[in-house]
Structure 1
Amino acid sequence: MGGLADKRAAIAGAVAAGGLSEAEVESRVADLLAGCVEPETADLRRLLTEYRDLEALPADEADARLAEAGEVFAPEDDA
């Protein structure tokens, strides 16, 4: 799901703004997504909320959102 990857990249970008190394950023993002640590900023908290909301979407609803965004599905992808 492209939306999750995009949100994860945005979270990593927000974490990287703190001047951490690439390995530290990946570790921090993993901890944030797992809920092991709390986000430091309101922006990071918002990104995590959006990520978790996307994660929680049922498959049909996620497919409808992708279709609204212009994604094209092959006939074999139809239910």
Structure 2
Amino acid sequence: MKARIIVTLKESILDPQGEAIVGALKSLAFESILSIRQGKVFDIVLDDQPSETAKRKLEQMCEELLVNTVIENYTIEIL
């Protein structure tokens, strides 16, 4: 089973890396950019069939290691 976990900062959290990327792109003449939020993507292959149990395993991975739930949100996609 393949899954993708997308991790992003919560909207209330400042994103200095995103702001730096905006500044760099504007210096390269990409003036129409209003904002960028940076995140992380984890592509995971499990030796499981897609199921609620497998999804709970992925959620547990997020909650225990992959995501700082104080400042980040995540979504899980089964591929």
TM-score by length of 2: 0.30
Q: Which structure shows the bigger proportion of residues in helix conformation?
A: 1
Structure showing greater relative contact order (alpha-carbon pairs closer than 8 Å, 6 or more residues apart): 2
Structure ID, larger Rg: 2
Q: Which structure shows the bigger proportion of residues in strand conformation?
A: 2
